[in-house]
Amino acid sequence: MALSADESGRLGELLASRSEQVTQRWTEIIAGQLRGRLSQAELVRQVQELHRALVDALSKGAVDLNAEDATELRAVLADFSRGQARQGFSATETATGVFALKEALLTALDNDQSVATLRDYVAFSALVDQMGLFTFETFVRTRESLIADQAEQLLELSTPVVKLWESVVAVPLVGTLDSARAQVVMERLLQTLVDTGSPYAIIDITGVPAVDTQVAQHILKTVVAARLMGADCIISGIRPQIAQTIVALGIEFGDIATKASLADALRHVLRLTGVETSRRQPRREA
Q: Does 246 bind another protein (CB under 8 A)?
A: no
User: Per-residue contact track with another protein, 101 to 120, x per CB under 8 A?
Assistant: --------------------
Q: Does 227 bind another protein (CB under 8 A)?
A: yes
Q: Does 229 bind another protein (CB under 8 A)?
A: yes
| Residue 224 Cβ vs another protein, minimum distance, rounded to whole Å | 5
3-state secondary structure (DSSP) of residue 235 = strand
| Residue 96 Cβ vs another protein, minimum distance, rounded to whole Å | 49
Q: Of 1-9, 77-85, 98-106, 274-282, which part binds another protein (CB under 8 A)?
A: 274-282
Q: Is the Cβ of residue 27 or residue 159 nearer to another protein in the bound state? A: 159
Q: Does 247 bind another protein (CB under 8 A)?
A: no
3-state secondary structure (DSSP) of residue 7 = helix
Strands (E), the chain: 162-165, 168-174, 200-207, 232-236, 257-258
Q: Does 267 bind another protein (CB under 8 A)?
A: yes
Q: Does 187 bind another protein (CB under 8 A)?
A: yes
| Residue 278 Cβ vs another protein, minimum distance, rounded to whole Å | 4
| Residue 212 Cβ vs another protein, minimum distance, rounded to whole Å | 19
Q: Of 30-38, 80-88, 117-125, 267-275, which part binds another protein (CB under 8 A)?
A: 267-275
Q: Does 77 bind another protein (CB under 8 A)?
A: no
Q: Does 193 bind another protein (CB under 8 A)?
A: yes
CA dihedral in degrees (163, 166, 168, 172; nearest 10)? Answer: -20
Burial of 77 (0-12, 13-18, 19+ CB in 10 A): buried
| Residue 281 Cβ vs another protein, minimum distance, rounded to whole Å | 13
Backbone dihedral region for residue 276 (phi beyond 0: left; psi -120 to 50: alpha; all else: beta): beta
3-state secondary structure (DSSP) of residue 277 = coil
Q: Does 278 bind another protein (CB under 8 A)?
A: yes
> Residues 6 or more apart from 94 whose CB is under 8 A from it?
80, 81, 84, 85, 135, 136, 139
Whole-number Å distance between alpha carbons of 80 and 67: 19
Task: Please give the span between the terminal C-alpha atoms of the chain, in angstroms, as a whole number.
Answer: 95
Q: Does 277 bind another protein (CB under 8 A)?
A: yes
By C-alpha distance, which of 200, 206, 185 is closest to 261? 206
Q: Does 215 bind another protein (CB under 8 A)?
A: no
Q: Which amino acid is at 121?
A: Y
Q: Of 13-21, 65-73, 195-203, 235-243, which part binds another protein (CB under 8 A)?
A: 195-203
Q: Is the Cβ of residue 88 or residue 230 nearer to another protein in the bound state? A: 230
3-state helix, strand, coil in the chain (%, to 5): 65, 10, 25
Backbone dihedral region for residue 3 (phi beyond 0: left; psi -120 to 50: alpha; all else: beta): beta
**Which of 20, 250, 254, 279 is the binder for another protein (CB under 8 A)?**
279
List residues binding another protein (CB under 8 A).
186-187, 190-191, 193-194, 197-199, 221, 224-231, 267, 270-271, 274, 276-279
